[in-house]
Amino acid sequence: MAVLGRNGRMGSEAVRAVEDAEDMALVAALGRGDDLQGIVDAGADVVVDLTVPSATRENVRFAVEHGIHAVVGTTGWDDAALAELETQLAAAPGTGVLIAPNFAVGAVLAMKFSELAAAFFDSVEIVELHHPRKLDAPSGTAARTAQLVAQARERAGLGGSPDATESDPQGARGADVDGVHVHSVRLQGLVAHQETLLGNPGEQLSIRHDSFDRVSFMTGVLLGVRSVASHPGLTRGLDGYMDLGL
Amino acid sequence: MAVLGRNGRMGSEAVRAVEDAEDMALVAALGRGDDLQGIVDAGADVVVDLTVPSATRENVRFAVEHGIHAVVGTTGWDDAALAELETQLAAAPGTGVLIAPNFAVGAVLAMKFSELAAAFFDSVEIVELHHPRKLDAPSGTAARTAQLVAQARERAGLGGSPDATESDPQGARGADVDGVHVHSVRLQGLVAHQETLLGNPGEQLSIRHDSFDRVSFMTGVLLGVRSVASHPGLTRGLDGYMDLGL
Amino acid sequence: MAVLGRNGRMGSEAVRAVEDAEDMALVAALGRGDDLQGIVDAGADVVVDLTVPSATRENVRFAVEHGIHAVVGTTGWDDAALAELETQLAAAPGTGVLIAPNFAVGAVLAMKFSELAAAFFDSVEIVELHHPRKLDAPSGTAARTAQLVAQARERAGLGGSPDATESDPQGARGADVDGVHVHSVRLQGLVAHQETLLGNPGEQLSIRHDSFDRVSFMTGVLLGVRSVASHPGLTRGLDGYMDLGL
Amino acid sequence: MAVLGRNGRMGSEAVRAVEDAEDMALVAALGRGDDLQGIVDAGADVVVDLTVPSATRENVRFAVEHGIHAVVGTTGWDDAALAELETQLAAAPGTGVLIAPNFAVGAVLAMKFSELAAAFFDSVEIVELHHPRKLDAPSGTAARTAQLVAQARERAGLGGSPDATESDPQGARGADVDGVHVHSVRLQGLVAHQETLLGNPGEQLSIRHDSFDRVSFMTGVLLGVRSVASHPGLTRGLDGYMDLGL
């Protein structure tokens, strides 16, 4: 297999992870400006794209054209780009592409479990905690989790979580994302953490994910590399490769 | 619907919960020594059995005989009793029985999510925390969770969690249940709490359930009452009624 | 000793707690309308006031007048009332009065530890979690903790916690109380919980208090009853009786 | 100031931390084999020793001999070595030495708060969680915390925590360190974490420290460097420099 974006933070971690994995052989690692033909010449069966939004679409197009499966962690895929890719894949029936916004399996499972549990609880709120250099609040993952939770509650016929708050002059109740309260903590020393709290009379279920280091993404990248060949066509989200019996 | 065991701790909570539920009508509530015929005379469609091991088998046999669905939270069902019940149910095709060891939906989901996640992590350990009047360690729920987690790891081809411990003279590493370490905390003020910790390089997933009050069981009892009629035959475990898409 | 407000929620708990304490004897328990002379006639040495704001001042005045120590959990003591009480106590040098807003020793310690730690960390935020019937956000205890933390940081010459947030359109960052972010979660099943999070590069210190039941206040009430005689004059806050070596 | 052990893991972090600190100037950084005279020639007022047990005693002796204050994070100081150092310091009245086993201020405070709180709770247990490459259980910090907690309980006249456990065939209750239960979790992805749980009827106080990265030690090293000149003589433990008003 081959890595694209070998000099980036994620790409260099991927090179190390693949080299450490006993069941994989790294045949090529390309950086900015390298000729993509290198992955073909090296005989790569799978390519991992951890490059930049301006490059990823051409990289994947090239890979599929040459029958090479692709595992993609780069952002920048809008609806038009995805539609174009699906058209290309329809004509390459044996080739698989995974495009995943998050490769930390714990984060993917935490989101999925939050969605599954949401139908069974009166209340749900989300707390996300990050390092203080983060520019936006709430985090994209927390906002996405809130949307999934809200949709699951709606499908189950649940209204909003009970809340008798009458006075909150300073906004302590946090953000309201589709009816789900989301709280953003920024704290020196932290990396990326998220907790979904679900409550019924007399009980609480908490689902928490802690990301301590970006190496956490590598478990999912390796899972993607191992699984992409057996999942032809386009798969969005790592959970598509995680057999939960769903 | 009717409640059996109305004077017990769980039974009296159930009476209250059913009375509070807008979509249910309590037509009978029986205590020790009351004639079971009362539930038939009252026209109950569903009976909730929260009695004692010595009574539950006859109660359920009677209910099924009269075409009344049963939701059972009483222990004492061994393999022979279950086989006999299944034989009876085979001859009563429209009648449903739910036998569940735990009606707290959060506890049921925590166990299920622990099992589902187990295949995707290098490490897993379980910490359960209870009030100091508990006689046994680890708790039955923690031991059962460890078994399910161990089986899921085995199915995924995973060995034991990594552990370099060489010196542990006082047993700080806790119990080893099928290869999964289980730790039991006993603390004044607590009720019943359990946490499954799962770890990969750079990340942790934690699934925690807190039971603060036995009223937590009522969410599951009501779910059972609402669902039993549409699940003919024997169902073991509340998760059989919780549609996770599994 | 004697209890005033024996029919209230707190008062009835106090009666039970005193009866259970082996080193105490309950000689009187008065409710609304009972003659205060009853505590003198019964020979009470200490009185616990768990009544209502409109009654507490007269109750305490009467107790001090008769040389009876008082432990007070009732609100309603403004600066004028406290000044008047101190004048009375100056003329009754052997008599002690404790007026405490919170008798849960864990809550008192959590607040004190948060204040002590605040000087040593770059970042601090507070998360409080309560049942969904609570009317105000943030909780009074959380707001008070934030103020104490802010003052401790100022004394240590620390500015605000680092925070690069540029975009927070929905207010996910919560309330800003004297420069300390406070987040309020409202969740079915919870009672009263609070966590102070403190962060430095590479580390986090978390101080959490969980109040599961109002019986938690009784530990502090008993501590007050046992200690008030040896603390003549007015003491505000249970921490005045908790010897931390401070 | 100067750093000894500049090539070690801790020493290289210290060099970086001092360079980043606006109020400090690094005048020398020595590695194995370098002549100690270098710190004198460079005019260092404080030296940080992060070397090895076989070198630290001679390094500190040399520093004190030349009137240079020392902040020492190296282990290897037995009673004899400490006695010898105190004798030397008695003859150098203006010079200060800090010898600390742990420079993470959060860890130091967590231990101190656990000790302070112990007298006020019925129950206390300790859970420590580390990466799975750790060789010993429980951790030294957890064992030390348990000892301090046990001593505080004894001073307060408290017996053991309540515990009705009758059956624990696999040792789920963990280690008993001076009557305090200690539990050791080993989990991939974790670094070094410890939680003290304290319980009374209806309430829990939890004091948790998370060490995510060894950079956490630098906050304490810098605190030591800034404070050592104003603390002549020998100080053991960073808490000696942390003014808690104790």
Residue-wise pLDDT for B43-52, tens only, equals 999 999 999 9
Task: Report the residue of chain A nearest B122, measured CA to CA.
Answer: A219
Residue A246 has pLDDT above 70, yes or no: no
Residue of C185, C205, C213 for testing the chain A interface, max A β-carbons within 10 Å: C185
Are the C-beta atoms of B112 and B164 separated by less than 8 Å? no
- Which residues of B line the annotated binding site for NAD(+)? 5-10, 73-75, 100-103
Residue B246 has pLDDT above 80, yes or no: no
Query: Which of B201, B204, B242 lies nearest to residue A219, judging by beta carbons?
Result: B201
Instruction: Establish whether this prediction's ipTM goes over 0.85.
Output: yes
Are the C-beta atoms of B171 and D183 separated by less than 8 Å? no
Task: Report the residue of chain B nearest A209, measured CA to CA.
Answer: B205
The CA-based angle A232-A235-A239, given to 5 degrees, is 120
Q: What is the pLDDT along chain C (246 residues), one digit of tens a residue?
A: 999 999 999 999 999 999 999 999 999 999 999 999 999 999 999 999 999 999 999 999 999 999 999 999 998 899 999 999 999 999 999 999 999 988 999 999 999 999 999 999 999 999 999 999 999 999 999 999 999 999 999 999 999 999 999 999 999 999 999 999 999 999 999 999 999 999 999 999 999 999 999 899 999 999 999 999 999 999 999 999 998 875
Q: Does A190 touch chain B (CB under 8 A)?
A: no
* β-pairing verdict for A123-130 and A96-99: unpaired
Euclidean distance between CA atoms B114 and D190, whole angstroms: 18
- pLDDT value at residue C148: 96
Q: What is the DSSP letter of C160?
A: P
- A169: tokens are 């002059």
Query: Which residues of B form the catalytic set?
Result: 130, 134
Euclidean distance between CA atoms C137 and A126, whole angstroms: 17
D44 bridge partner residues: none
CB < 8 Å to A189, chain D: 210, 212, 216
Euclidean distance between CA atoms A245 and C104, whole angstroms: 47
Query: Which of C189, C190, C212 lies nearest to residue B189, judging by beta carbons?
Result: C212
Are the C-beta atoms of C121 and A190 separated by less than 8 Å? no
Interface subset of D 135-154, CB within 8 angstroms of B: 135-138, 142
User: Please, which pLDDT band fits residue D246 given cuts at 50, 70 and 90?
Assistant: low
Measured between alpha carbons, how far apart are the two ends of chain C, in Å? 29
Is A95 annotated as a binding-site member? no
At how many degrees (to 10) do helices C105-117 and D105-117 cross? 150
Per DSSP (E only), the strands in A18-110 are 28-30, 46-49, 69-72, 96-99
Are the C-beta atoms of C50 and C10 separated by less than 8 Å? yes
Distance from CA of D77 to the nearest CA of B (A): 23
* A209 tagged catalytic: no
Contact B212 A202 (CB under 8 A): yes
Contact B186 D161 (CB under 8 A): yes
Euclidean distance between CA atoms B113 and A164, whole angstroms: 31
Delineate the domains of chain C, giving CATH numbers in brackets.
Answer: 2-99+215-241 (3.40.50.720), 105-162+170-211 (3.30.360.10)
Q: Following DSSP, what letter does each residue of B103-166 receive, concatenated?
A: --HHHHHHHHHHHHHGGG-SEEEEEEEE-TT--BSS-HHHHHHHHHHHHHHHHTT--PPP----
The single residue listed with the structure tokens 């949709």 is A151
Q: Following DSSP, what letter does each residue of D38-98 receive, concatenated?
A: HHHHTT-SEEEE-S-HHHHHHHHHHHHHTT-EEEE------HHHHHHHHHHHHT-TT-EEE
- pLDDT value at residue C76: 86
Euclidean distance between CA atoms B139 and B184, whole angstroms: 8
Give the CA count within 13 Å in the CB-facing half-sphere of B38: 16
Touching partners of D (3+ C-beta pairs < 8 Å): A, B, C
- Which residues of B line the annotated binding site for (S)-2,3,4,5-tetrahydrodipicolinate? 131, 140-141
